[in-house]
């Protein structure tokens, strides 16, 4: 059975689609090895028409903002291969399965995590059996929409096979770095109650649960051996929720002497200097924090973030002392905040001295508390799903595809501000952070950042050469020098 997995063009940070890589791992562990990955952030459907004609089933990962594009994509796929079965999975289908199954060109929708359900669907179709008993499956029967019994979220994450990157080669996903970075996840969901994520995140990912330390380190060792990975990005919603787990993880990683670098998304709420120091000693080089707002009132009463701005400043000070690189996320234009509080967010971002920042314009995402608040107060501008990432009037052309999060137009409008004010705030942000890369990261000094990654890579390859005297290290160093010179 020939299987295609497609990652739609999300017009955002380009990274290997970890969810699809997990599906590929499950399928391969069950004997289905004919799997092709297509990432439309990097590839074009027109280059894969031959493979599409031969496909038996196509799985597509969908977030809310790309659903209209995925419907168009499904029509294009059916024109190429009318017999192929198309199955949607991911965040949006888990929230809106009936809407997702409605288009004629969509055959199946997976609700919840799809490793088991998608494999079962492939197996049933392969053996021409009944698929109606597969848990978490939405389908059509005689023109009526059917949803089977909800699938149970995997309680023990150690039971799942390690994601594989054969269908989505890591070498394709390099940005400012000179060597591939592997995404890895040590947990699913999040125990926090932030109104910008919940309850949608819990509906999509289930209750918060963590993998064992041994299982995580075993995956890192396998990625190191199989793909020569030396840089890992923990893409958990927040890696540092449990201090004891993090400290034990660092202790065990130190014993392994793997000589790797890593980073993660952390939370101001639970992190402290002792934890940061232990992380640094085991190769952690970068942390990202969702600060969200520069107003303590907004953090407490609007977002329910559970952090203090005083602690934010302490953590930034500790990071500087430990020479840890820091990226910070902010949101402007949330219902319930004032003009002055929006500007406080811009000022905080400017004064924190983070290595990089990213701003988002708040939009009414499905099933999140902040959207409910907007509806109750009539603060939401009428819109469709495709409007969630629509560039604002002034931003179009100024940003282009540079920063999809900041360039999108505001779909909230309160008694104090509307989309026009948010557009003006964007100009202030661009003025404060003049260096932007193509993923929308604002840098203090993008040349300095690029130089850091060059030195990090070159030094690592040089040390490796003196360790094993293999010619491949010299070739990689020469390639890095050539790339470095071409960037000027």
- The Cα 249–Cα 247 span in angstroms is 5
SS3 216: helix
CB atoms inside a 10 Å sphere around CB 463:
11
**Backbone dihedral angles phi then psi of residue 210, each to the nearest 5 degrees:** -120, 145
92-131 pLDDT, tens per residue?
999 999 999 999 999 999 998 899 999 999 999 999 999 9
Helix, strand, coil proportions of the chain in percent (round to 5)?
A: 45, 15, 40
Burial track 370-383 (b if 16+ CB lie within 10 A, e otherwise): bbebbeeeebbbee
- Provide the percentage of residues in the chain whose pLDDT is more than 70: 86
Q: 137-176, pLDDT tens digit by residue?
A: 999 999 899 999 888 899 999 999 999 999 999 888 865 4
Place of tokens 């149970």: 152
Enter the tokens of residue 432: 């404060």
User: 3.20.20.70, 1.10.20.140, 3.30.750.24, 3.30.565.10: which CATH number matches 174-443?
Assistant: 3.20.20.70
Exposure pattern of 77-101 as b/e (b: 16+ CB <10 Å)? Answer: bbebbeebbbbbbbbbbbbbbebbb
To the question of pTM greater than 0.85 for the whole model, the response is yes
DSSP for 78-93? HHH-TT-EEEEESHHH
Q: What is the mean pLDDT of the chain?
A: 88
Instruction: Show the tokens assigned to 4.
Output: 């295609």
Region of 336 on the Ramachandran plot (φ > 0 left; ψ -120 to 50 alpha; else beta): left
Classify 263 as helix, strand or coil.
Answer: strand
Homologous superfamily (CATH) of 3-147 is: Cobalamin-binding domain (3.40.50.280)
- In the numeric block, which tokens belong to residue 54? 């031969």
Q: How many C-beta atoms lie closer than 10 Å to residue 55's C-beta?
A: 21
Among all chains, which residue has been given the structure tokens 């000094």?
445
Residue 268 has pLDDT above 80, yes or no: yes
pLDDT digits (tens, 9 = 90+) for 199-220: 999 999 999 999 999 999 999 9
Tens of pLDDT, residues 306-322: 999 999 999 999 999 99
User: How large is the angle between the packed helices 243-256 and 213-227, nearest 10 degrees?
Assistant: 40
> Domain-by-domain residue ranges, the chain?
3-147, 174-443, 446-486
Mean pLDDT of 221-238: 92
């Amino acid at each position: 059975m020939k299987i295609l997995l497609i990652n739609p063009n999300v017009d955002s940070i380009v990274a290997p689609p970890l969810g699809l890589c997990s599906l590929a791992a499950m399928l391969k562990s069950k004997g289905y090895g004919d799997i092709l990955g297509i990432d439309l952030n990097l590839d074009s459907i027109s280059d894969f028409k031959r493979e599409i004609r031969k496909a038996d089933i196509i799985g597509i990962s969908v977030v809310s903002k790309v659903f209209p594009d995925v419907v168009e994509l499904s029509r294009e796929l059916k024109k190429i291969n009318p017999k192929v079965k198309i199955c949607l999975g991911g965040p949006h289908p888990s929230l809106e399965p009936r809407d997702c199954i409605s288009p004629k060109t969509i055959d199946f929708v997976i609700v919840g995590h799809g490793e088991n359900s998608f494999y079962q669907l492939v197996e049933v179709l392969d053996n021409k059996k009944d698929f109606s008993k597969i848990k978490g499956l939405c389908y059509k029967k005689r023109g009526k929409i059917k949803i089977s019994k909800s699938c149970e979220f995997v309680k023990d994450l150690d039971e799942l096979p390690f994601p594989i990157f054969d269908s989505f080669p890591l070498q394709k996903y390099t940005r400012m770095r000179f060597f591939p970075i592997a995404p890895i996840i040590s947990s699913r969901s999040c125990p926090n109650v932030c109104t910008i994520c919940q309850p949608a995140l819990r509906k999509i990912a289930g209750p918060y649960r963590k993998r064992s330390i041994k299982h995580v380190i075993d995956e890192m060792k396998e990625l190191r051996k199989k793909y020569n990975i030396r840089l890992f990005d923990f893409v958990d919603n927040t890696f540092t929720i449990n201090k004891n787990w993090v400290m034990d993880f660092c202790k065990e990683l130190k014993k392994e002497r793997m000589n790797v670098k890593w980073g993660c998304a952390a939370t101001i709420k639970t992190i402290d200097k002792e934890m940061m120091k232990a992380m640094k000693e085991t190769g952690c080089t970068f942390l990202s924090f969702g600060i969200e707002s520069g107003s303590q009132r907004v953090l407490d009463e609007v977002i329910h973030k559970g952090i203090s701005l005083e602690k934010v400043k302490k953590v930034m000070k500790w990071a500087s002392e430990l020479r840890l690189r820091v990226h910070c996320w902010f949101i402007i234009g949330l219902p319930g905040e004032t003009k002055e509080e929006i500007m406080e967010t811009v000022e905080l971002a400017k004064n924190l001295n983070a290595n990089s920042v990213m701003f988002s314009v708040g939009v009414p995402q499905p099933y999140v508390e902040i959207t409910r608040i907007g509806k109750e107060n009539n603060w939401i501008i009428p819109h469709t799903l495709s409007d969630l990432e629509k560039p604002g009037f002034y931003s179009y052309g100024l940003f282009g595809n540079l920063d999809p999060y900041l360039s999108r137009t505001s779909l909230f409008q309160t008694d104090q501000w509307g989309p026009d004010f948010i557009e003006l705030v964007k100009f202030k942000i661009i003025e404060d952070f003049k260096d932007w890369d193509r993923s929308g990261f604002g840098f203090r000094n993008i040349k300095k950042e690029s130089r850091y990654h060059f030195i990090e890579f070159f030094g690592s390859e040089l040390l490796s050469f003196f360790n094993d005297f293999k010619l491949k290290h010299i070739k990689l160093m020469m390639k890095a020098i050539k790339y470095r010179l071409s960037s000027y």
